[in-house]
Structure 1
Amino acid sequence: MRIRIRHEITQRFDPGSRNMAVTVRLTPRSHEGQFILRWALDLNSDCRLAAQEDAFGNLCHTFSVVGPADHLSVIAEGEVETQDTTGIMHGTVERFPPSLFLRQTDLTETTPAVVAFAESVKGPEDDPLGQLHALMVALHEAVEEQEGPALGGPLSADAALLAGKSCSGGIAHLFTAAARHLGLPARHISGYLAPEGADEGVGVARHWAEAYAPKIGWISFDAGRNLCGTEHYVRLAVALDAMGVAPLRSTGLEIEEQVSAVDGRSPQKLAQAQSQVQS
């Protein structure tokens, strides 16, 4: 499947801001089931991008903006060829052993409520794959997905569970927190979801989780949709939680995002899929 993506981020600054340092995570990598055909970043500022990799192997770009400036716009655009691997990840950059992803963070803290939820779906230790699927189903039933800041500031695992509803990022936090409590390494993924039919319009930015099952490897789980990853997903970045996969990190005040991800075989024109403003 060929997917066309356009992701625009505009960040506003205090009037007259000067010398802003910016880090952008908006460049996906190729791996088995995902091949980057073309990809480009465009800025509204005259500066030089410095390409690098973060600790998890995500492709990043850093740059400085010499003010005064009141806003910054970044556009990532490209095409990706995908294939269905039934959610199993091969060929990804792996800088750390799976055991690192047992580490909890502030956003995946195992509060009493999260521990009780994880224990309620605990299964045989000799069947980690079955345990992970059971966790995904239970989470899908316990937390209703709603629209929200998929790439901005999703809820913590505890907040998502207590609210009974969350955006995809909060649901991913709850999945990773519960899986780690059960001794199953899990990590946070950012990316894009294209529609499963040309008549469904444009796609969205999205978060999901990957968990590690011995003898199989890393497997993607989207508990909000109650399925493992398919060819309709484009994987962008990986980390312990949403903070680590933030598409743009700087000192700005507000962020506005517009995202589209469509089946590249469709003649449909790219259109706005998601717009969000955060302080």
Structure 2
Amino acid sequence: MQVTLTRLLGAAALAGTALLAGCGNDDGTAETRSIKVGTMSGPESEVMEVAVQLAKERYDLTVEIIEFTDYVSPNAALADGSLDANAFQHEPYLRSMVEDRGYDLTVAGYTFVYPIGAYSEKHTDIDDLPERAIIALPNDPTNGGRAMILMHNAGLIELDDPENLEATPVNVVENPHGFRFREIEAAQLPRVLPDVDLAFINNTFAQPAGLSLDDALVQEGPESPYVNLIAVRSGDEEREEIQQLVSAYQSEEVAAMAQELFEGGAVPGWE
């Protein structure tokens, strides 16, 4: 009888252990309910913090934010498995990284359009730009292309193909004022503003530098194709945790925080 009782107690203990494990995987380990997402340091991270809170409240999902200050590292970290997702780039930039670096990444959901604008500390009107003015551009292909297309549309230059989203200064076929272009890392553009006549700055970096879209001499409109997104490794876009993050992000609470932080310079891209 003692042996039988001992065996029964042991079986009960094992059953209790299984129950404590909750919804585990087939190998007996507990299911992971946490993910890491990469963002740009600054207001974009503050916006993501709202989604992080909602993901915890609604889905009991723990999301850790990893902050970056450049546009290259977040995709490298996602590709090598250091991140589960990132939220900082628009689709043309993601496509260029996939093509150039062979990353197997895809779109899980859309976030905001952060319009790019042209700012100046020396001039108050785009028509005031002098001959041979120095114009600073983002040095990544797609954001540089945004700036080139804006200049073409404003009549400052003429491009060989105004539909080319990756246009660079080599695609300029008419430059009647002899503008000189300086391609600079996007995050550094607010710092060089005093040294140039005009700088095209993403709102991601403009707003933290105290620049408002209302101050821009030229800016993108709501028709911009550059809606930002949440990127993941291909095959993870339907993963439950990723879809829960996307759902938490595409919320009224997140939109309200972006409206507050970017002062109208963030347009929801999921509506």
- Normalising TM by the smaller chain, what interval? under 0.3
Report the TM-score when normalising by structure 2.
0.26
Q: TM-score, normalised by structure 1?
A: 0.26
